[in-house]
Amino acid sequence: MRLSVVIPCYNEEAALADSVREVRQALDSLEARGKIARGSQIWLIDDGSRDGTWPLIESLSAADPQVVGMKLSRNRGHQHALLAGLLSADGDAVISMDADLQDDLGVLEEMVDAWRAGHEIVYGVRRSRTEDTLFKRWTARRYYGLLRVLGVDIVPDHAEFRLMGRKALEALAEYPEANLFLRGLIPQLGFRSAQVLYDRRLRLAGETKYPLRRMVGLGIDGITSFSAVPLRLIAATGAVLFVLSTVVALWVLAVRIFTDRAVPGWASITLPIYALGGVQLLSLGVVGEYVAKIYLEVKRRPRYIVERTTRDPAVVEARDNSQ
């Protein structure tokens, strides 16, 4: 098999050279043992970096013809950069991983063996989250649990470290949606899959590209892209509030008619107004999130634009002719 490794890059100048060197060593080791074919490639997708990432990619590609650089015209986000690499790499199988090299290269052989055994998708799943903060562990568990409750098919403790065969990649290309949440989308492909456990390492250098703000945004995309349950919860909440309001109205009417204990007060007016106003604003926010996604989908704009690539067109033509 010819293997491609896809690595999205955004401001990864500090870590990228070391990451590519280690990935190249891992591929050379697999080639030497006959696990993969010679000429397996590393695809580096520059997602509009603002530092020296792209010049570094160009130099790495010039030094090693099996390193392919692809520069997007602007920053499109990690998911779109990853998709660009997955749909461009032409290996028999493609492994996606992060540029910080926290994913364990030692399990690449297990992934390849699982693919050879007939698994079209092989997920890299973290064995534990001991290196995460208590807050991150707690929120991750709650989030995966929430997705399962909402009916989203997702692999817990799996990010973007996975192997996909050519059939799975061709099926993924049939999904034209602009709002990408790949870790929720890929399980929907339905191919035979396997899991490989690994221990996540510390970053080689640089800082995380997924701060809390981006993690929250990705989490919202994961829910609203795959589940309509929040919309149904709004309807259910409205129904419950209508019933409770009716009961309270009948009780107030009964007190007014049959007793002399009715005392006019601001609480009976103000509190319901604030409660219902808050529910209405929350409901409008949820509906607005879905409407925004519909708006982005119906425009059918390109999900990414490739500005340039370091790949020699003659190499591509020769490979196509050999196939």
Nearest C-alpha neighbor of 81 from the set 172, 8, 16: 8
Distance CA 94, CA 36 (A): 12
More confident of the two residues 135 and 95: 95
Quote the mean pLDDT of the chain. Answer: 81
The amino acid that residue 192 corresponds to is R
The amino acid that residue 68 corresponds to is V
Tokens 């991983």 sit on residue: 97
Distance CA 156, CA 141 (A): 8
pLDDT in tens, 141-176: 777 777 777 777 788 888 889 999 999 999 999 988
pLDDT in tens, 278-310: 677 677 777 777 777 777 777 777 888 899 999
Lowest mean pLDDT among 22-26, 104-108, 116-120, 278-282: 278-282
Distance CA 64, CA 147 (A): 42
Can you give the C-alpha Rg of the chain in angstroms?
A: 25
Judge whether 271 and 306 are in contact, CB under 8 Å: no
Distances (CA, A) of 71 to 8, 55, 210: 10, 10, 20
More confident of the two residues 213 and 1: 1
Judge whether 77 and 34 are in contact, CB under 8 Å: no
Q: In the structure encoding, which two tokens stand for residue 294, read together?
A: 């519909």
Distances (CA, A) of 48 to 45, 204, 245: 9, 21, 53
pLDDT in tens, 232-272: 677 677 667 766 766 766 776 677 677 766 666 644 675 57
- The residues near 149 (Cβ < 8 Å, ≥ 6 apart) are 229
The amino acid that residue 191 corresponds to is F
Distance CA 125, CA 196 (A): 6
Alpha helices in 103-196 (DSSP H): 108-116, 134-149, 166-172, 182-185
